[in-house]
A and B are shown apart, each in its own frame.
Chain A
């Protein structure tokens, strides 16, 4: 097997929870040697689950297992002098440090950007935080819900008389982690080819405010027109649009406004749709026409399963999809055959099918080389590599301090 594209990259991972670990997971899964430094109490992600049978166990959190594949795990108390010495030696061997402490903590620990440059000139530092390293909200506390409320386009999600409603829980944090991974590789380019180590400030709020899922667009629209996007069911982009119930689930489609002819073809070109009234410039904004069409269309979808609707729509080039459940997506034969899932064995958590590669690079493939590290699993191995003797390590990493 060819090594991953980042096989010559060594990363010190001081992140925890979700966004930071997703960033370093991407680096690790594409080959980087990522040394995950956990505090003596462990990454809090170990407490998040989902757990087998809902029995909490720090070695069996599904989220932790997914987010930390291919990393080597070291436990260090960075408040102790020995912990700091170990981190100094690790940094001296690395290309990149990624951290997600509260702003200011890394400086207080003595490992701010300047301090890192003194240890390893040219090293890059990615700082991931809720609101960034500066500004009035710097020290605000947050969760994925509050971050998406502030940074994302949540205001226009939902129906008018109800509170805005968020996207899938935790999605916002994974998205921000992917943005941080872009910053991480950008810093590798700066360090290696432009001759300069840089500090990237990744604010999760900004990673959403600049993001492509409607937020930047809505800000631009406001800047252009003074209009604020608002909540309507189905996003209001013509008909048929949005999710329709069908025989065994739901069928989602868009395209009425843009490609009416495809919709007509999908439903078998019935005669009543030949009337020119369906194709006037304002037809798609006409509630009476929508009602007339829906009366027909509800009958059409209810005669079909979601997969049958999907196939009929695709045959007519309609942009559409079934609304799969988690069980449906795991069971989909096409994704399964393509290798969307990856079996990962873990000595304590067991063997499970994880979501697999985000993209395919044949010459330098994504690969699971090892499962998520057990707590302190690689402390002795990694510290041994930077010159600590076995007796020096024992005292530092006793699991009893947990």
Chain B
């Protein structure tokens, strides 16, 4: 059996929220041993839930992305069940340890000594207060790779500014660049596109640093300032500003590249929509034919791309009046058959039932001690000889403490029992945490 690409790499995971855990999950999926350190006495908001023990009423009042716990119940160990976070713990191990205490620091020293990478995305001062610096890590393991993912950088006036992905979106100008053209940006839904990029590029950075270490024997400190990392996704408006000093306005669902018509149009049923893009004259006439309006293609107003851009509002009304009568998937098929880029706007249920994702085996099903057997969304990509799979179900807090303390680090049964009795090694968050 061929080995996964990153088999043999060990990563100490000090990540929180989404951007960090997404990176270490990609590395775990690729075969690295990712060991997540969790402090049962400290609640990291946005990491295993908004609260450790959310009342059911709180879940019921929240949006499904936050409140959609298994069967709507917080359960005995709610921190192992939040839909917002738990799937990011697939292919990871979890160990309970309190890094604020001397023995916890000693634990980390022993773990770092046998690891390749330490990965964290806290506010910079957080780890420094704990004494976890690159200098300290390097004194333990000279070739360690230390990846830090601050919001705005390890240096500079915004050093300790706090941000979630959505705030990175704000600073990088993404929020002003998206949304309905006729509404205020305050109508924009919070999104986290920058977390995606920070995670994907964070995993890339780890692999690049490992390759450098293979060649030279050197480790290093890698800094991923999220606000700078996220600029890549805004290359089009940023380059327009760089070249023309033009500030791009929002285009809603229209094309920034000047293709028309493009939009999201209503379909038959409740809250059903289809996205349609015509990037050429041929695709435009394919749309006209499919919607039974060959005469639109002959209308001089719509004969050129420039004309279609100019009359986009009129086109939107004409198209929407027709799409309303069609089922979104059936219309997609007919448009595709006519060579028109189109696709249904899939909600979470549609995605889970999607025949294409099903046919490709995108979902996997695993049993989980605190959740039961469920289906989960799969992987960013697939590999031919070492298919990515769920080798470890989304990890429960402290699930691998015995393995890490005793097997990896050689703690004696006696030492382990003492820490258990002191409430330090546990699978439960302290009752005092919020």
Partner of B228, one of A234, A323, A357: A357
A228 to chain B, nearest CB (A): 5
Q: Which residues of A contact B162 (CB under 8 A)?
A: 314, 317-320
User: Is there an interface contact between B237 and A326, defined as CB atoms closer than 8 Å?
Assistant: yes
Chain A residues near B229 (CB-CB < 8 A): 358-359
Asked if A156 and B87 sit within 8 Å, CB to CB, the answer is no
Contacts of A232 in B (CB 8 A): 63, 189
Counting CB contacts under 8 A, is A118 at the interface? no
Q: Which residues of A are found within 8 Å of B256, using beta-carbon distances?
A: 169-170
A186 touches B233 (CB 8 A): no
Given known contacts A149-B345, A327-B247, A201 and B381 CB-to-CB distance under 8 angstroms: yes
Q: How far is the CA of A214 from the CA of B87 in the complex (A)?
A: 11
5 additional contacts (CB under 8 A) given A167-B178, A314-B160:
A141-B340, A165-B180, A169-B236, A206-B362, A321-B163
CB atoms of A281 and B241 under 8 A apart: no
> Would A242 and B186 be within 8 Å (CB), given that A53-B244, A145-B255, A318-B162 are in contact?
yes
Min C-beta distance of B157 to chain A, whole Å: 5
**B contact residues around A212 at 8 Å (CB):** 18-19, 22, 88, 192, 195-196, 199
Contact A361 B208 (CB under 8 A): yes
Chain A residue contacts of B339, Cβ below 8 A: 141
A interface footprint on B281-305 (CB within 8 Å = 1, 0 otherwise) = 0010000000000000000000000
B248: interface (CB < 8 Å): yes
Q: In whole angstroms, how far apart are the Cα atoms of A308 and B397 in the complex?
A: 40
Residues of A within 8 Å of B50, CB to CB, are 257-258
Chain A interface residue count, CB cutoff 8 Å, equals: 161
The reply to whether B167 and A362 form a contact with Cβ atoms under 8 Å apart is: no
1/0 contact string of B1-25 vs chain A (CB within 8 Å):
0111111100000000011001000
As a 0/1 sequence over residues 18 to 47 of chain A, the CB contacts with chain B under 8 angstroms (1 = contact) are: 000010001000100000000000000000
A181 within 8 A of B: yes
C-alpha gap A86/B172 in the complex (Å): 42
Between A and B, 27 residue pairs with Cβ closer than 8 Å are: A48-B257, A62-B239, A132-B360, A136-B356, A140-B336, A140-B343, A149-B264, A155-B273, A163-B264, A167-B191, A174-B235, A180-B381, A187-B5, A188-B207, A194-B3, A209-B362, A212-B196, A220-B68, A232-B189, A242-B188, A319-B162, A324-B176, A329-B173, A330-B242, A334-B157, A338-B155, A354-B242
Q: Is A386 an interface residue (CB 8 A)?
A: no
Q: Report the separation of the CA atoms of residues A179 and B23 in the bound assembly, to the nearest whole angstrom.
A: 10
Contacts of A234 in B (CB 8 A): 186, 189-190
- Among B57, B58, B221, B237: residue with most chain A CB under 10 A: B237
Give A53 to B341 CA distance when docked, in angstroms.
30
User: Which residues of chain B are within 8 angstroms of A214 by Cβ–Cβ distance?
Assistant: 65, 191-192
Q: Would you give the 0/1 interface string for A164-201, flagging 1 where the beta carbon is closer than 8 Å to chain B?
A: 11111111001100111111011111100111101111
Is A334 touching B158 in the complex (CB atoms < 8 A)? yes
Residues A199 and B384 in contact, CB atoms below 8 Å apart: yes
Q: How far is the CA of A159 from the CA of B184 in the complex (A)?
A: 12
Q: Which residue from chain B places its CB closest to the CB of A363 in the assembled complex?
A: B220
Closest chain-B Cβ to A162's Cβ sits at a distance in Å of 7
B136 at the interface (CB under 8 A from A): no
Contact yes or no, A169 B208, CB < 8 A: no
* Segment at the B interface, from A73-81, A100-108, A244-252, A387-395: A244-252
Closest Cβ–Cβ distance, residue B364 to chain A (whole Å)? 11
Q: Is the CB of A324 within 8 A of B172?
A: yes
Task: Given the known inter-chain contacts A8-B215, A213-B165, A359-B224, please indicate yes or no for A198 contacting B208, CB distance below 8 A.
Answer: no
- Using Cβ atoms and an 8 Å threshold, which residues of chain B touch A154? 275, 345
Decide yes or no whether A224 CB sits under 8 A from chain B. Answer: yes
Return chain A residues, CB-CB under 8 Å to B214.
Answer: 193
- The A interface is mostly helix, strand or loop, or mixed, namely mixed
Chain B positions within 8 Å of A170 at CB level: 233, 235-236, 256
Which A residues from 215 to 247 make CB contacts under 8 A with B?
215-225, 227-237, 241-245
Contact B191 A328 (CB under 8 A): no
CB pair B5 A190 closer than 8 Å: yes
Q: Which of B189, B241, B348, B362 contacts A157 (CB 8 A)?
A: B189
B310 interface hit (Cβ, 8 Å): no
Question: In B168-182, which residues have CB < 8 Å from any A CB?
Answer: 168-180
Across-interface contacts of A340 in B (CB, < 8 A): 225, 227-228, 231
**Do B64 and A179 have beta carbons less than 8 Å apart?**
no
* Option from A9, A136, A216, A322 in Cβ contact (under 8 Å) with B377: A216
| Contact across chains for B195 and A334 when beta carbons are under 8 A apart | no
CA distance A360 to B222 in the complex (A): 6
B326-357 contacts to A (CB < 8 Å): 336, 339-352, 354-357
Among A50, A199, A234: residue with most chain B CB under 10 A: A50
Q: Contacts of A354 on B, CB cut-off 8 Å? A: 238-239, 242
Q: How far is the CB of B276 from chain A (nearest CB, A)?
A: 7
Q: How far is the CB of B82 from chain A (nearest CB, A)?
A: 9
**A194 and B2 form a contact (CB under 8 A):** yes
* B369 lies within 8 A of chain A by Cβ: no
Q: Which of B207, B232, B247 contacts A22 (CB 8 A)?
A: B232
B70 CB contacts on chain A under 8 angstroms: 224-225
A380 within 8 A of B: no
Known: A143-B259, A163-B253, A203-B381. A171 touches B6 (CB 8 A): no
Q: Which one of B22, B26, B84, B360 lies within 8 Å of A203 (CB-CB)? A: B360
B356 touches A205 (CB 8 A): yes
Tell me whether A352 is interfacial, beta carbon within 8 Å: yes
Complex CA gap A238/B302 in Å reads 46
> B68 touching A221 by the CB < 8 A rule?
yes
Which chain B residues border A254 with CB–CB below 8 Å?
A: 164, 166-167, 190
Smallest CB separation, B172 vs chain A (Å): 6
Give chain A nearest CB distance to B217 CB in angstroms: 11
Is B58 touching A223 in the complex (CB atoms < 8 A)? no
Task: Mark each residue of chain A from 105 to 135: 1 if its CB lies under 8 Å from any CB of chain B, else 0.
Answer: 0000000010000000000000000011011
What are the residues of chain B within 8 A of A167 when measuring CB–CB?
174, 178, 191, 193
A49 and B259 alpha carbons, distance in the complex (Å): 12
| Residue ID in chain A nearest B234 by CB atoms | A168
B135 to chain A: which residues have CB within 8 Å? none
Assembly CA distance A182 to B350 (angstroms): 28
In the bound complex, CA of A8 to CA of B275 (Å): 43
Does A356 make an interface contact (CB < 8 A)? yes
Quick one: which of B174, B195, B238, B385 contacts A196, CB cutoff 8 A?
B385
A320 to B163, CA, bound (A): 6
Quick one: which of A183, A203, A222 has the most chain B CB within 10 A?
A222
The one of B187, B204, B227, B343 in contact with A146, judged by C-beta atoms closer than 8 angstroms, is B343
Q: Which residue of B lies closest to A138 (CB)?
A: B356
Does B118 sit within 8 A of A, measured CB to CB?
A: no
Q: CA–CA, A66 to B238, complex, Å? A: 10
CB-defined contacts of A52 to chain B, threshold 8 Å: 243-244
The distance in angstroms between the C-alpha atoms of A335 and B152, with both chains bound, is: 8
